[in-house]
Amino acid sequence: MEQPKGNLRKVQKAETRSLILKSARSLFDSLDYDSVTIRGVASHAEIGLGTIYKHFPNKLSMLAAAFFDDLKALYEDAVATIPEDALFKFQFIHISKHFFNFYTSHYSLSHAYLSHLFFFDSYWRDQINAFDDSYAGKIAEMIRTAQKQGEISLDKESDTLAQALMSHYFFVLINGFFRDGTANPDQMAAMLEALMEQTLY
């Protein structure tokens, strides 16, 4: 059965967008940000330059879209693989290390993501902020479950504690990732665990 033309166009549009971002990631991961051009992405994807502009008005919006898609995919994969019988501390480290592994294994791409984060336009900043709020809510939910199981004191306010732990995560990420470009995800996870020990207990 043939799909309605409207649905087919949506599928084709989504496939083209995916192809553009795949090519953009490949170039950002092999070149520094300034060396990547929209024309270069079009050539890599083997599509017309005009097609790129139908999806993204500039290079920065392309980078923001790739970053946001990666954020969602990494988070979903990390949450899906959380060891259910582990203590909360190790569940949080599991999620965080999932991101650490990605960032350290795609240094050039991740450097472009993180160093341009504050330059994304309001649309993408709002999307990323909403993602962060949702993630903080998930962590707070996990904390409340841990409190019921006696792992974390009931005196700790779950939403505030979730924000504190996310602050630790960002500190470790920025400190480890930007210091010399040779960050080790195991060392980053160990630093995060040490900070968590001071906050959780």
- Give per-residue pLDDT as tens, 152-189: 999 999 999 999 999 999 999 988 877 766 678 999 99
Confidence of residue 1 (pLDDT cuts 50, 70, 90): very low
Mean of all residue pLDDT scores within the chain: 93
Pairwise CA distance, residues 189 & 201, whole Å: 18
Q: Which of 130, 156, 132, 133 is nearest to 144 (CA)?
A: 156
- Give per-residue pLDDT as tens, 81-131: 998 789 999 999 999 999 999 999 999 999 999 999 999 999 999 999 999
Q: Which of 83, 80, 79 is nearest to 96 (CA)?
A: 79
Residues 6+ apart with CB under 8 A from 196: 89, 92, 93, 165, 168
pLDDT of residue 182: 64
